[in-house]
Structure 1
Amino acid sequence: MGETATIKFLKWIPLYEEERPFQIFLELPPEAPDQRKTNLTWDEKDITVTDFRDNAADFQLDTHGFATRKLEGFSELENDKDINARYIPEVKRMLETELGDVGTVFVFDWRLRSSRPSLTAEKINFSDPNQLLLPSNYAHIDTCPISVIQRIQKSFPNDAAKILRQRIRAVNVWKPLSCPVDEWPLAVCDGTTVKPNDLVETDSIRQGSISTNYYVKHNEDQKWYFLQKQTPDEALIFKHFDSEPGVKAPFALHSSIKLQSVPEGAKPRKSIEVRTLIFSEKFRSADEVVL
């Protein structure tokens, strides 16, 4: 049984034939001749999302690009010390236990989000993981292959060549905090229903770095899923990249979704997402990285 929800998709415009799509997350010098911070144009669409909880075993990372697992005992996480000391090790343990072909789980980022705008900052500071971000209502994949390679080269300068010869996956773990999700749940799209032409490389320019991600054009064939009233004990696991040839689903799209029906008096959503790279062999240097 599906529900109707709204997602923003990238709208293709002729400009992208001559200029790469981009977003700039920093202040521009007043003397800069081009004061645009983005050239992205959006196409808001109503889609059907299906609750997959009752047949969750049918959905796995390699067959659909996403899965769900139990991750109990972390309904409240107060600060970065608590997250790094207690939650991150449990996320790594869960991935090592639940996924196959895992030698190293390298956690390189985590983010907290809240659907209550009064709690979020007006300006985004990506160097501060404690800053609450709003839910993102844009269909996207967090990273492109070139950004995965650059991340490995930067974080593992001595082992990068070895790592790049094995299986590499970029995997996120997302779950709510405090209470089940009534507003702005996270939805994932079956990667096997996404056509290559649906994906558009976009440059993300931040203080000290330029990375690339995919925004997504709408396609009627895309099939979206979520966990209705997802609880703090339920984690969504989804892929952004998989170097293994022949994997049925090397990625899954994701987006927070605006549901047409939200219960009156719904509590605001609070959530945490953990971003990882998973290698098939063990590299001790990953354990030395401090967020």
Structure 2
Amino acid sequence: MTAVVSNSTEYLLGQSLSSRDDDNHNIYTNLLYLDTSSPGFNDPITFPKDPKERENLLELPGNRKVLIAQPAVVTDVGDNIRHYTLDCHGFQYVNHTTKCSKEMFLDETMIKASYYPEVDQLIKDVTGASYVHLFDYAARGPLNGDDGDPKINRPVKSVHCDQSYEGAKRVVMSRLPDKAFAEEVVENRRFQIMNIWRPLEPIYKDPFAVTDARSIPDSDLVALPVIAGDYTEESWAAEPNSAHRWYFKFAQKPDEVLMFKCFDLVRKRMSPVEYFMLRLRTGLKSICPHDKALRSELVWFTVNSSSNQIHDRYL
């Protein structure tokens, strides 16, 4: 899971990375979790299609959630960056240089024409996926960004994961145009839903934080319905737990791409007719204070992904 922390709120992550250990860049902060004791905590979250209706998202029924601040330490992966892998921790930093300019990330046509093919190949190289379908893109600016720029979305401040177990299946069924193939994927294939985050400038404020998936028990997860335009989906929020282990990359540069899983369904054949199904996720995500750099977010799912064997050129 991931989350965002702002230096413009009382829930401060590092105060522009200044509140940290003398010998490292670990951040001490409060992360925002869902308060499940509040009325309507699991009411649907709504993202209307009409841009005018999206101008006041927090005023829509179900969108204003009551949150709890949980003290947390967010660990800088630092010199141990190669230690963290998709298959073990649910996230991984890889070296990848894009041919796209910063300005291109605000042009959807150029993104799909130039950046999508780069990411498609990156995913296949890193995961061994036989099929990749990219289905969403967003450019995100700082928490105190320009409200008037419709191309830049504010980060989501609360701890969350984009897809629940059920939500992952809905994404496959709704985004793949070939419904027969979509059903085959959901019923019989291993598939993953991932995010890739690339900063467009080095990040010294509002860094993106992720959890070690192994530190999040299912009992901490709360399913939230999401109505996004024509789609009805489901995401995870989370209840606070001091055992969640959080990580980020200090001064993350544009060629240091963060890949993390939202969902991974692994089927292991136990007998000719039985399968053991293992569901993995990256648990929670959040954001720590970040300067005026955009983050590009790309979401995809992969089919028939093998065990993670990252190529040397990405380390």
Q: Which TM bucket (shorter chain)? A: 0.7 to 0.9
Residue type of the partner of 1:76? K
Deviation per residue, 1:229-273 (Å, 9 max, x gap):
1001111000011111589881113434335xxxxxx84121101
The 1:181–1:197 alpha-carbon spacing in structure 2 relative to 1, beyond 3 Å, is same
The aligned counterpart of 1:171 is: 194
The aligned counterpart of 2:294 is: 270
Structure 1 residue 15, shift from structure 2 partner: 4.0
1:52 to 57, 77, 81: 77
2:142 to 115, 126, 130: 115
Deviation per residue, 1:98-123 (Å, 9 max, x gap):
113x111110001001116453458x
SS in 2 for 1:159: helix
The aligned counterpart of 1:197 is: 219
Q: Distance in 1 between matches of 2:293 and 2:130?
A: 33
Residue type of the partner of 1:56? I
The aligned counterpart of 1:126 is: none
Structure 1 residue 7, shift from structure 2 partner: 2.1
The aligned counterpart of 1:103 is: 130
The 1:248–1:222 alpha-carbon spacing in structure 2 relative to 1, beyond 3 Å, is farther
What's the TM-score once normalised by structure 2's chain length? 0.74
In angstroms, what is the RMSD of aligned CA positions? Answer: 2.5
SS in 2 for 1:140: coil
Q: Percent identity?
A: 23
Q: Distance in 1 between matches of 2:206 and 2:291?
A: 11
* Aligned 1:36-75 pairs, distance under 5 A: 36-38=61-63, 40-73=65-98, 74=100
Unaligned runs of 5+ in 2: 1-23, 55-59, 268-275, 306-315
SS in 2 for 1:244: strand
Residue type of the partner of 1:174? W
Q: Distance in 2 between matches of 1:13 and 1:276?
A: 34
SS in 2 for 1:204: strand
The aligned counterpart of 2:171 is: 151
Deviation per residue, 1:175-233 (Å, 9 max, x gap):
101x2011111000001000111110001123322211001111111100000010011
Query: For the Cα contact (< 8 Å) 1:61–1:249, is it kept in 2?
Result: no
SS in 2 for 1:222: coil
The 1:208–1:161 alpha-carbon spacing in structure 2 relative to 1, beyond 3 Å, is closer
2:119 to 68, 78, 91: 91
Structure 1 residue 80, shift from structure 2 partner: 1.4
* Aligned 1:214-233 pairs, distance under 5 A: 214-233=236-255
Q: Distance in 2 between matches of 1:120 and 1:104?
A: 37
Query: For the Cα contact (< 8 Å) 1:8–1:44, is it kept in 2?
Result: yes
Deviation per residue, 1:21-56 (Å, 9 max, x gap):
42223459xxxxxx7333621012331111113112
Q: Distance in 1 between matches of 2:112 and 2:148?
A: 22
Query: For the Cα contact (< 8 Å) 1:64–1:249, is it kept in 2?
Result: no
Query: For the Cα contact (< 8 Å) 1:72–1:233, is it kept in 2?
Result: yes
Unaligned runs of 5+ in 1: 29-34, 123-129, 260-265, 282-291
Query: For the Cα contact (< 8 Å) 1:121–1:131, is it kept in 2?
Result: no
The aligned counterpart of 2:308 is: none
The 1:204–1:119 alpha-carbon spacing in structure 2 relative to 1, beyond 3 Å, is same
The aligned counterpart of 2:31 is: 7
Equivalenced residues, count: 258
